Amino acid sequence: MKILLKTFLFAAAFAAAFAVGAQAKTAIGEQAPDFTLTDISGKVQRLSDYKGKTVVLEWVNPECPFVRKHYESGNIPNLQKSATGEGIVWLCINSGSAGAQGDFNPAKASEWLKSMHASPTAYARDSDGTVGKLYGAKTTPHLFVITSAGTLVYEGAIDNIRSSDKQDISRATNYVSAALTSVKLGQPVAKAVSEPYGCSVKY
């Protein structure tokens, strides 16, 4: 009986370790893993379809205070508008499980985007968390920048001030904006990784 119990515990520990290790498959300087999601308008979004374009992935939760800070202030919507105006693809992803905080249905998510004057290329729900775990998304917001060649060049926080106070935005260094500028100029991203801050992704 003890042998069986030890075998079971070992197997469970191994499975747990494998699951954690399998969550994040992204690394700076490597190809961003492909994925397929259906957005709230019913359109299929495949990362590989955007080869040849710079792509921003933004993990979002409309009810998270940190997300609200960056949306209600216009910080992220303005960055989205600027980026998409230059041909950059901006994909919002909500990996919250069904019924979790911020798990808006398509109509409500669309209404929220409109009320925030947001203009991402698409907003998709990832209710089973597959894509979030594939990228190791930890918080909302958590952002990733991918070059036209499909290489991941930035992942982390939107800026360097970890707060939910809108007044901090004006004095913060926006890592995502800086990364996009570097990509546009064909230069290495100076700050390629930062620790994301915000609400935990509601897997």
Number of structural domains found in the chain: 1
Residue 76 lies in a domain: yes
Residue 105 lies in a domain: yes
Residue 54 lies in a domain: yes
* Residue 104 confidence class, pLDDT cut points 50, 70, 90: very high
Encode pLDDT of 75-99 as tens digits: 999 999 999 999 999 999 999 999 9
Residue 49 lies in a domain: yes
CATH number at residue 163: 3.40.30.10
Residue 15 lies in a domain: no
Residue 35 lies in a domain: yes
Residue 116 lies in a domain: yes
Residue 14 lies in a domain: no
Q: Of 126, 53, 50, nearest to 93 (Cα)?
A: 126
Please calculate the CA angle 133-154-151 and round it to the nearest 5 degrees: 85
Encode pLDDT of 127-154 as tens digits: 999 999 999 999 999 999 999 999 999 9
State the residue range of the domain holding 104.
25-200
